Amino acid sequence: MNRLNATNPMHEKIVILDFGSQTTQLIGRRVRELNTYCEIVPYNKFPFGDASVKGVILSGSPFSVNDDNAFKTDLEEIRGRYPVLGICYGAQLMASTSGGEVGNHGSREYGRAHLRVQEGRDLLLGNIAQESQVWMSHGDTIVRIPDHFRVIASTEDVAMAAYRIEGEQTWGVQFHPEVFHTEQGTMILDNFLSICGVKKDWTPASFIESTVQELREQLGDDKVILALSGGVDSSVTAVLLNRAIGRNLTCIFVDHGLLRKNEFETVLENYEHLGLNVIGVDAKQHFYEALAGVTDPEQKRKIIGKGFIDTFDREAHKLEDIKWLAQGTIYPDIIESLSITGVTIKSHHNVGGLPEKMNLRLCEPLKLLFKDEVRRIGLELGMQPHLIHRHPFPGPGLGIRILGDITPEKVRMAQEADDIFISNLRSAGLYDQVWQAGAILLPVQSVGVMGDERTYENTIALRAVTSTDAMTADWAHLPYPFLSKVSNEIINKVKGVNRVVYDISSKPPATIEWE
């Protein structure tokens, strides 16, 4: 399989070695926000020989450096060759492997801590306030450092909260500069980028320019078929490819019968305004038949994914000389589909075996971008804000918002409830305050009273979250009068529903979608 990576391979970058921390992706986002390109790679997959690497960040980890199964790698060829910043586990790993001692000696720190920076002209912390709040999350701590390490900051409980290594451009911090609660964390990361000597010129405009050029070079006159979902990611992918190769791009938008109400017609109209070459395919019946009686969520995802394969395979054979399949895959899709531990959180329809089935090469020009970056790229491309700021909608659609088996009647209830919810969010001015929202049809029936009649009907759960990158999310604190209005409207207008509940779970431990 050939994968098209639409980034200039010689564009300077920071490499983040991932040791399994939940905040590794957040480090990447913070670096990108400082206009510096970075890539997250597994802890044991450093890209030696890549001349574009300007610095290295070592992430945290769920393990202790003293665990037998801890993720470890030889840093000798990295330290001294590149500027290095170790965060939490990364700092402890360097101390431990250099002759220091890391252990659990009653100095655990979780949450906010008071950092005191030692006086001096240290390049990493020299312009940081002498006292500030940082965010800690470590059970072990560095209890002894090697002779050539120098402490540059401490907290009340941890004497060696930050250090530098003499003779190297190497630093370690036991707190997390990437998280919001570390008051001057962005400045610390910015200082490290300055140490690395990067130009900090990676912007949406520069991404578009380099990506369009590389797409033209690698695709040439080849024809490309694009799997459109109607969402932000695939739409931005379509416009980017259209700028690069024009009419050699054919977009296919499949109605699998699990879209939002009137979504098929609305999306086709929007794409027409963008000047895209789009084929709309009504495949509702095919998907309904394939999903009949299926209740397992992962099996539903796989059936829907296979349905896309079958549909695209059929449509691709109607076209001539198609060489590439394009998809709107983004970074979180890849991260959630396969972590460095090999544990799948959930499968994504954009990450799988499509090319092998269709014998097409895979083009994923956004696969190293986070959602907020994709939106900035779309606006830079001139796309309308209402298309860019749409809430994320899962590829399997209502298939994973209808718990249990799928039927056309259940789809109708979910669509109508969802339409009422989203329409009210827009009219109340709340839509843009929410990252993602939708209605979930539960496999639960309950007793109700409508007029003089006793009912035994279905339950709708409303889900709305706030987030920045979907890696973590909090439930949206929507006004009670708003929720009351939406509940009443759903119960009064959606036949078959007599109860509405609101989901107040955060991610983690819950996920944004219910399945």
Give the largest Cα separation in the chain, rounded.
84
**In whole angstroms, what separates CA 121 from the centre of its chain?**
37
For residue 4, give the amino acid letter.
L
255-269 in b/e burial notation, b at 16+ Cβ within 10 A? bbbbbbbebbeebbe
Question: Would residue 35 be called left, alpha or beta, if left means φ above 0 and alpha means ψ between -120 and 50 degrees?
Answer: left
* Contacts for 395 with CB less than 8 Å, ≥ 6 apart: 229, 304, 308, 348, 349, 350
The residue with tokens 């006004």 is 479
CA dist., res. 22 & res. 13, Å (int): 22
DSSP line for 404-464: S---HHHHHHHHHHHHHHHHHHHHTT-GGG-SEEEEEEEEEEEEEEETTEEEEEEEEEEEE
For residue 141, give the amino acid letter.
T
Q: Which residues are catalytic?
A: 88, 176, 178
**Lookup: tokens for 246:** 């024009």
Output the CA torsion sign for 339, 341, 342, 343. negative
CA dist., res. 414 & res. 416, Å (int): 6
The alpha-helical segments, DSSP class H, found in 247-340 are: 263-273, 284-291, 297-316, 331-337
